[in-house]
Amino acid sequence: MSDCRSCRWLRFRVLPFVAALVFGTTLLGAFVPVCRADDEPKPDPAGVTTGDRSSVFDAGGTSFVVAEPSDKSAPDYAQKLKDYQEFQAQAAKEPLAMKLADGVGHVRLGTNFAWTLNTGYLVLFMQAGFALLTCGLIRKRNAAHLMMLNFAAYVFAFLAYWAVGFAFQFGAVAVNAAPLNLGGTPTLNSFLIGSGSWGWLGGKGFFLTGPAYDSGANVLTLFEVVFMETAGYIIVGAICERITFGAFLLCELFVGAILYPIFGCWVWGGGWLSQLGTSMNLGHGYVDFAGSTVVHAVGGFCAMALAVVLGPRLGKYGPDGKPRAFPAHNIPFVVTGTFILLFGWMGFNPGSTLGATDLRISVVAINTNLAAVAGAASAMLFWHLRFGKPDITMACNGMLAGLVAITAPCAFVNATSAVIIGILAGIVVCVGVLFNDNVLKIDDPCGAISVHGYGGLLGGISLGLFADGTYGAGWNGIGATSYLGTAGQGVTGLLYGDASQFMCQLIGASTSVLWAFGATFVVFRIVNGIRSMRPSVEDERDGLDVPQFGLLAYPDDELVTE
Amino acid sequence: MKKIEAIIKPFKLDEVKEALTKAGVQGLTVSEVKGFGRQKGHTELYRGAEYVVDFLPKVKIEVLLDDSDAARVVEVITSAARTGKIGDGKILVMPVDEVVRIRTGERDSAAV
């Protein structure tokens, strides 16, 4: 009977709610009056004015256009003013060169647009990898249910991010963290909560209308929405086989609209964590290159909170409290999915430069691969030493943990450090899986908490240890001319002499855990109190494919009882 | 008439089939089955947690024979399927009351 109840709940409560939300917000978005003061930057939907001489930089990042100095009290004011006047005189003499520079700037941004969009498409393809990986790791009887979760995650989290998520995350990006490689998106320029170095929530670009109806901003949107989807996907691995579809949709709306964008704003949208360098003198502020914490730890610890709220799958723990194994039903899926994820990560990390004109991309790509293979090798070795045989599913988890852990530091470390980080990640994921299973007794069918949560935490912290200072000069507005007394010194970790960066990484990484676990736990404890997020015991025992969606993933098996 | 049911190790199927063909057996039925005998199942580890494989995969062969051939064919199967290790399986011989060939309606020995 209770399956009927949950059906009815789904049909009469959740679906109309979601539909009303989508249509209501569409209408709102379409009719919100575009109020723009005259001095506000104008969006460029056609992409014809984005990219001119001001987008031309040399290899070292020095701008072609010399800006007029504004700070008259600066010691080098006289020199800067002289440079500026010389540039102006030269520009007046050579209008053709200026016109050419406008073309060069436009092409430069075109290159970066192409790079960022294409790497974004690679990240999008990771959804297929996640779907195969998680499906392979669970039991046959829930395979269609899991595929529907994976599919719906993309759909509903995307809509939530379009409505409010992007604006919360990047609505103020031009204030402190303008993506110059994409033209700087000057229209996304105000916080909804906070200001200056203490931004808490972006406030422009709701429904991608008005200031976000801009070619540069939309490149950012495409690239960032697929990142959000990754976090939205991660939770599936920990909550599958025991959640109703309606409850799952709520989780996805929560991740896409609130949980992910808010932490994302703090780190990538120019929010307070990124500005700790300016405001509290802590290194370059909190640095997470491609999202070990912003994407993975947030997804992983959100997943952990949901797994705690849901409780373990039926029969996962015997009467003696010992965990039982529910073996993976399709190892070829697991391995294929893992390789698709590795491939997608070649967009995730190198793409996070937001531009092919940042030639660090090759180092990023190599570091990413090295950590992946080191993670897989160390997980295999760990399992072999501990249990006598390597476990292919743990080896795959090890590769993914290596990828997750290198995601934050990938641009700032050298090859040796990448291998060390990968090895550590492989061990962390193995210990994490055993720890969750045996000590915390949190049921995590696909190891999502260990791979993304613990692995992500390791990534955020290891940046603070291993960053070697060769890249990232001027990151988060710190040390543009010189840092630690050296010109061109970039983000630097504890082992290379900057303890304050390490401190900052500890602060940022722990914040990601507290925020993701805390907010999710509170919200969904309440949701679960109002109406249970679990399907009925009978449905869970028989498999969720038929009770929730009316069909089996493998209909040929219908006569075979497992 | 007799029916012989032999439950054997799956990898021995080809050898047993060849031996039976050589011995003049004209038809047989094979099914994949699972079970355990005195060898019991075994314990495996998946991601650090134990699980027991109770039922081991076996192959069941069914052959229909005239009474006079039964003893010889049992010998043939026994020698072809034997590895000498635990889990080689069992052979059952049982009487058959009636046999009908569906296509022609032939009965008993003519239908074997």
Contact (CB, 8 A) for A138 and A240: yes
Alpha helices in A32-172 (DSSP H): 77-93, 95-137, 143-160, 166-170
Predicted local distance difference test score (pLDDT) of residue A488: 87
Choose among A253, A238, A226: nearest CA to A128. A226
* Contact flag B45-A325 (C-beta cutoff 8 Å): yes
State yes or no: pLDDT of A71 exceeds 90: no
Residues A534 and A244 sit within 8 Å (Cβ to Cβ): yes
Of A7, A5, A1, A2, the closest CA to residue A548 belongs to A7
User: Hey, are the CB atoms on B46 and A328 less than 8 Å from each other?
Assistant: yes
Residues from chain B that touch A324, judged by Cβ atoms under 8 A, are: 49-51
User: What's the gap in Å between the CA of B59 and the closest CA on chain A?
Assistant: 17
Distance CA(A421)–CA(A415), nearest Å, equals: 10
Q: Is the pLDDT of residue B48 over 90?
A: no
List CB contacts (< 8 A) between B44 and chain A.
Answer: 325, 327
| Cα separation, A519 vs A151, whole angstroms | 24
Binning pLDDT at 50, 70 and 90, where does residue A28 land?
low
CB A201 within 8 A of CB A21: no
Q: Give the integer Cα–Cα distance in Å for A519 and A266.
A: 15
Average pLDDT over residues A66-86: 90
State the pLDDT at residue A31.
Answer: 53
Nearest CA in chain B to A386: B48
In Å, what is the CA distance from A513 to each residue of A450, A539, B86? 13, 33, 53
Q: Sign of the CA dihedral A325, A331, A333, A338?
A: positive
The tokens of A413 are what? 């470390």
Are A447 and B47 in contact (CB < 8 Å)? yes
Question: Which residue in A has a C-alpha nearest to residue B51's C-alpha?
Answer: A325
Q: Is B50–A394 a contact, with Cβ atoms under 8 angstroms apart?
A: no
Contact B47 A438 (CB under 8 A): no
Who among A322, A389, A391 is closest to B47 (CB)? A391
Dihedral angle, C-alpha A130, A133, A139, A142, nearest 10 °: 20
Summarised one tens digit per residue, pLDDT across range A106-163 is: 999 999 999 999 999 999 999 999 999 999 999 999 999 999 999 999 999 999 999 9
pLDDT above 90 coverage of chain A, percent: 84
Q: Which amino acid is at A530?
A: I
CA-only gyration radius of chain B, Å: 17
Please give the share of chain A, as a percent, with pLDDT higher than 70.
92
A–B CB contacts, 8 A cutoff, strictly below: 37
pLDDT tier for residue A70 given thresholds of 50, 70 and 90: confident
Q: Which helix (H) or strand (E) holds B64?
A: strand B56-65
Instruction: Determine contact, residues A167/A475, Cβ cutoff 8 Å.
Output: no
Q: Are A323 and A437 in contact (CB under 8 A)?
A: yes
Q: Which two tokens stand for residue A517?
A: 């676990």
Of B62, B71, B52, nearest in space to B27 by CA: B62
Instruction: Spell out which chain A residues touch chain B, with contact meaning CB-CB distance below 8 angstroms.
Output: 322-328, 387, 389, 391, 393-394, 433-434, 437-438, 447
Give the per-residue pLDDT at B110. Answer: 87
Helix crossing, A499-530 with A245-254: angle to 10°? 150
Write the secondary structure of A547-559 as one string of H (helix), E (strand) and C (coil).
HHHCCCCCHHHHH
3-state secondary structure (DSSP) of residue A412: coil
Summarize the confidence of residues A295-300 as an average pLDDT.
98
Q: Does position B43 have pLDDT exceeding 70, yes or no?
A: yes
Residue of B nearest to A322 (CA): B49
Taking alpha carbons only, the member of A200, A224, A182, A239 closest to residue A44 is A182
Least confident of A51-65, A90-104, A264-278, A366-380: A51-65
A395: chain B residues, CB-CB within 8 Å: none
Instruction: Tell me what the pLDDT averaged over chain B comes to.
Output: 92
Q: What is the DSSP letter of A484?
A: T
What pLDDT sits at residue A17? 66
Query: Quick one: pLDDT at residue A227?
Result: 97
Q: Do the beta carbons of residue B85 and residue B38 sit within 8 Å? A: no
Mean pLDDT of chain A: 92
CB-CB contact of A456 with A300 (8 Å): yes
Say what the pLDDT of residue A1 is.
38
A327 contacts B48? CB cut-off 8 A = no
> Residue A33 has what pLDDT?
47
Q: Do B47 and A437 touch (CB under 8 A)?
A: yes
Q: Left, alpha or beta for A213 (phi > 0: left; psi -120 to 50: alpha)?
A: beta
Higher pLDDT, A349 or A11: A349
Question: Does A320 have pLDDT greater than 80?
Answer: yes
**Closest by CA position to A186, among listed A216, A221, A157, A223:** A216
d(CA A465, CA A450): 21
pLDDT at A25: 62
**A100 pLDDT band (50/70/90 cuts)?**
very high
B46/A447 CB distance under 8 A: no
Spell out which residues of chain B touch residue A328, defining contact as CB-CB under 8 Å.
Answer: 46
Between these two residues, B112 and B101, which has the higher pLDDT value? Answer: B101
Token readout for A200 is: 């808490």
Which chain A residues are Cβ-neighbours of B49 within 8 angstroms? 322-325, 437
Burial of A79 (0-12, 13-18, 19+ CB in 10 A): exposed
Residue A447, pLDDT above cutoff 50: yes
Question: Which amino acid is located at A516 in the chain?
Answer: A
A433–B48: do the CB atoms touch at under 8 Å? yes
According to the model, what pLDDT value does residue B24 have? 92
How far does the CA of residue A23 sit from the closest CA of chain B (Å)?
A: 45
- Chain B residues within 8 Å of chain A (Cβ atoms): 44-51
Q: Stretch A493-497: mean pLDDT, rounded?
A: 96
User: Which residues of B fall within a CB distance of 8 Å from A327?
Assistant: 44, 46, 51
Sign of the dihedral through C-alpha A423, A427, A432, A437? positive
* Residue A150, amino acid: N
Instruction: At A542, give phi and psi (nearest 5°).
Output: -80, -15
Percent of all residues in chain B with a pLDDT value above 90, rounded to a whole number:
76
B48/A387 Cβ within 8 A: yes
Optimal mutation site among A133, A138, A320, A326, interface B, most CBs of chain B within 10 A: A326
Phi, psi of A454 (to 5 degrees): -65, -40
How many residues are present in chain A? 562
CA B31 centroid distance within chain: 9
Which of B32, B33, B45, B47 is the best mutation test for A, with the most CBs of A within 10 A? B47
> What is the distance between the alpha carbons of residues A467 and A458, in angstroms, rounded to a whole number?
14
Q: Which residues of A fall within a CB distance of 8 Å from B45?
A: 325, 387, 389, 391
CB contact at 8 A, A294 and A288? yes
Please tell me the total number of residues recorded for chain B in this structure. 112
DSSP B30: E
First-to-last CA distance in chain A?
24
- Other Cβ atoms less than 10 A from the Cβ of A369: the count is 20
Distances (CA, A) of B103 to A9, A436, B84, B100, B107: 57, 63, 41, 9, 11
Tell me the pLDDT band of A380, cut-offs 50, 70 and 90: very high
pLDDT at residue number A2: 45
CB contact under 8 A, A327 and B51: yes
User: Band of the pLDDT at A562, cuts 50, 70, 90?
Assistant: very low
Q: Please state the rounded mean pLDDT for residues A240-268.
A: 97
Q: Do B45 and A387 touch (CB under 8 A)?
A: yes
End-to-end CA distance of chain B: 8
**Residue A26: predicted pLDDT:** 60
Q: Is the pLDDT of residue A407 over 80?
A: yes
**Which residues in A82-92 are b (16+ Cβ under 10 Å) and which e?**
eeeeeeeeeee
From the list B44, B47, B50, which residue is nearest A393 (CB)?
Answer: B47
As a whole number, mean pLDDT of residues A64-85 equals 90
pLDDT tens, residue by residue, A186-211: 999 999 999 999 999 999 999 999 99
CA distance A173 to A178: 5
Task: Flag if A324 and B47 touch (Cβ within 8 Å).
Answer: no
- CA distances, B47 to each of A428, A444, A453 (Å): 14, 11, 18
Which tens digits make up the pLDDT trace of B58-104? 999 999 999 999 999 999 999 999 999 998 999 999 999 999 999 99
* Nearest CA-CA partner of A431 in A416, A453, A407, A410: A453
Model confidence over A156-173: pLDDT tens digits?
Answer: 999 999 999 999 999 999
B64 pairs with which residues across the strands? B3
ipTM topping 0.90:
no
- How many Å apart are CA B56 and CA B29, to the nearest integer? 20
Contacts of A434 in chain B (CB under 8 A): 48
Note the pLDDT of residue A73: 86
DSSP three-state, residue B31: strand
Query: Taking Cα atoms as reference points, which of A463, A483, A451 lies closest to residue A420?
Result: A463
Greatest mean pLDDT among A3-12, A13-22, B67-76: B67-76
Residues B8, B25: Cα–Cα separation, whole Å: 17
Residue A449, min C-alpha distance to chain B (Å) = 14
The whole model's pTM is what?
0.89
